[in-house]
C-alpha cells in the first residue's frame, strides 16, 4: 500500500495537469485519487487514460481535457476573484480532504483562514417556519460567538438564516454551481457578502449553472468540511436529510432540532432524533458534545491523505501491471445495476484489492461503472 502522505503545494504545471485530469471524461473525485495513486502523478495518469478506457471496454476515444481548456478555466477563476486550491493548501478545509470522495481541487473566494477553523454546518428547510428561522439565527449566532464557523448551502430558509447570523463571526457557503453563479438568484446579495467577509467554496468551474443532481454533491462538501451537521426543520424527503446521511457516513456528529409532530417540516428532524441524532435546543447542546472531542487529541483524528502527492507511487517510472482478462471477466460477472460494496467484490472474487480496484478503475474510465456512497459501485445504466 502506498504510504500516507500530505499533499504539497503544486507548481503551475502540476496544477494544469490536475485540472486537466479532473475535467477529463469519466474522471470523478475518487477515480482521480486512484489514478494519481496508481500512476504516481496526474501527468502520467493523463497518458494512461486512453489505454485504461480501452481495457475497460470503451470503443470510442475518451475525451481528455486539453492544456488550453485548463488554462481557460484558470483564467476564469482569476477573473472571478477566486483561487483554485488542493488539499493541504490554505482555503481547503482540512476535514474535507479525508472523505471518501474529496474534491481534488476546490474553487474558493473570500477568507481562506476560515477553512482552517472549527466548522459546524446548519441546514434545513427552504420553506422554513418563523420558529425554525429564529432557531437557526440563535444557534448560528451563538456558535459564531463561541469561536465556530457556520457552514451551509446558501439555499433559502434555514441556510440563509444561518449564514446571516454568522456573517460577523465567519460563515462558509458551499455552492452547487460555479463560484460566480448566483444560485438561488434571490441570494445574490448574500453570496456577494459572503465572498467579501466569509468564504465561498465550489468544485465546479466558473459559469457552471447547477441542476438538481448537483446538490447532493454540494451537500457532501457541507458535511465533509464540518465537525458536525445540525438539522433544523426537514421534510421527509429533504436535501438536509441527505446531508445528515452523508455526515454519518463521513464519521461526523449529527444533531437535530425537534419540532411539532403535526408539522411536516419537522418530520425529518424528529426522525433523525428517533434514530439516534442528538436532540438540540441551543448551541450549548452542540458545544457540550464537541468540546470534549476537541480537547482530546486522539478523538476524531484524521488520517493522512492517501497518495494525492505528485510522484506518490513507490516506483513512479514503472507503470503498474494491468489486470488480466480473467480478473476483468470475474469482476464484471459479479457486477449489476444494483449497488455492491467494493469489500464484498474483493471477498467474492477471491482477488486481491489492488486487482479489483484496477478493474473497477478501468470500467469507470470507460463509462461502464458508477461509484455510489458508502464505497459501493454498480454498472452504469445502458445509454
- DSSP of 285-342, one letter per residue? HHHHHHHHHHHSTTTTPPPPP-S-STT-STTTTSPPPPPPHHHHHHHHHH--SS-EEH
Q: Domain check: are 158 and 110 in the same one?
A: yes
Q: Domain check: are 220 and 282 in the same one?
A: yes
pLDDT in the model for residue 324: 86
Q: Which CATH number does the domain housing residue 227 bear? A: 3.40.50.450
Q: Domain check: are 108 and 229 in the same one?
A: yes
The answer as to whether 262 is a domain residue is yes
Q: Domain check: are 235 and 256 in the same one?
A: yes
Q: Domain check: are 77 and 101 in the same one?
A: no
Total domain count, the chain: 3
pLDDT in the model for residue 308: 56
The span from the CA of 372 to the CA of 302, in Å, is: 22
Task: Give the predicted TM-score (pTM) of the model.
Answer: 0.90
Q: Domain check: are 44 and 108 in the same one?
A: no
The span from the CA of 133 to the CA of 297, in Å, is: 35
Q: Which CATH number does the domain housing residue 333 bear? A: 1.10.10.10
Q: Domain check: are 244 and 278 in the same one?
A: yes
Q: Domain check: are 161 and 252 in the same one?
A: yes
pLDDT in the model for residue 296: 67
The span from the CA of 144 to the CA of 139, in Å, is: 8
Question: Structural domain of residue 68, as residue ranges?
Answer: 12-81
The answer as to whether 345 is a domain residue is yes
The answer as to whether 318 is a domain residue is no
pLDDT in the model for residue 319: 59
Q: Domain check: are 59 and 148 in the same one?
A: no
Average confidence (pLDDT) per 10 residues, the chain, 383 residues: 48 93 95 93 95 93 96 97 95 94 96 98 96 97 98 97 98 98 96 98 96 92 98 90 94 96 92 96 96 69 46 46 86 93 94 92 94 88 72
Amino acid at each position: 500500500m502506498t504510504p500516507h502522505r500530505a499533499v504539497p503545494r503544486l507548481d503551475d504545471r502540476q496544477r494544469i495537469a490536475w485540472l486537466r485530469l479532473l475535467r477529463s471524461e469519466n474522471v470523478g473525485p475518487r477515480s482521480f485519487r486512484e489514478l494519481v495513486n496508481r500512476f504516481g502523478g496526474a501527468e502520467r495518469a493523463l497518458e494512461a487514460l486512453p489505454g485504461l478506457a480501452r481495457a475497460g471496454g470503451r470503443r470510442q476515444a475518451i475525451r481528455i481535457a486539453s492544456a488550453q481548456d485548463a488554462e481557460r478555466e484558470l483564467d476564469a477563476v482569476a477573473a472571478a476573484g477566486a483561487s483554485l486550491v488542493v488539499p493541504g493548501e490554505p482555503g481547503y478545509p482540512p476535514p474535507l480532504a479525508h472523505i471518501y470522495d474529496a474534491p481534488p481541487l476546490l474553487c474558493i473566494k473570500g477568507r481562506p483562514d476560515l477553512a482552517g477553523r472549527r466548522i459546524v454546518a446548519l441546514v434545513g428547510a427552504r420553506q422554513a417556519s418563523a420558529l425554525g428561522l429564529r432557531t437557526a439565527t440563535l444557534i448560528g449566532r451563538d456558535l459564531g460567538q463561541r469561536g465556530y464557523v457556520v457552514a451551509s448551502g446558501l439555499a433559502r430558509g434555514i441556510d440563509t438564516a444561518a449564514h446571516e447570523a454568522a456573517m460577523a463571526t465567519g460563515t462558509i457557503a458551499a455552492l452547487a454551481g460555479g463560484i460566480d453563479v448566483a444560485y438561488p438568484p434571490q441570494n445574490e446579495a448574500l453570496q456577494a457578502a459572503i465572498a467579501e467577509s466569509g468564504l465561498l467554496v465550489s468544485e465546479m468551474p466558473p459559469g457552471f449553472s447547477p441542476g438538481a443532481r448537483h446538490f447532493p454533491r454540494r451537500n457532501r462538501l457541507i458535511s465533509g468540511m464540518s465537525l458536525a451537521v445540525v438539522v433544523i426543520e426537514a421534510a421527509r424527503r429533504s436535501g438536509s436529510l441527505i446531508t445528515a446521511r452523508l455526515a454519518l457516513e463521513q464519521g461526523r456528529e449529527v444533531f437535530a432540532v425537534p419540532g411539532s409532530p403535526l408539522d411536516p417540516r419537522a418530520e425529518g428532524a424528529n426522525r433523525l432524533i428517533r434514530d439516534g441524532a442528538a436532540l438540540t435546543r441551543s448551541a450549548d447542546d452542540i458545544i457540550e458534545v464537541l468540546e470534549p472531542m476537541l480537547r482530546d487529541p486522539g478523538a476524531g483524528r484524521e488520517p493522512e491523505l492517501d497518495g494525492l502527492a505528485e510522484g506518490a507511487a513507490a516506483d513512479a517510472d514503472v507503470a503498474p501491471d494491468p489486470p488480466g482478462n480473467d480478473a476483468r471477466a470475474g469482476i464484471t460477472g459479479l457486477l449489476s445495476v444494483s449497488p455492491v460494496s467494493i469489500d464484498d467484490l474483493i471477498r467474492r472474487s477471491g482477488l486481491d484489492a489492488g486487482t479489483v480496484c484496477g478493474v473497477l478503475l478501468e470500467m469507470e474510465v470507460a463509462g461502464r461503472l458508477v461509484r455510489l456512497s458508502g464505497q459501493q459501485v454498480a454498472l452504469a445504466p445502458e445509454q
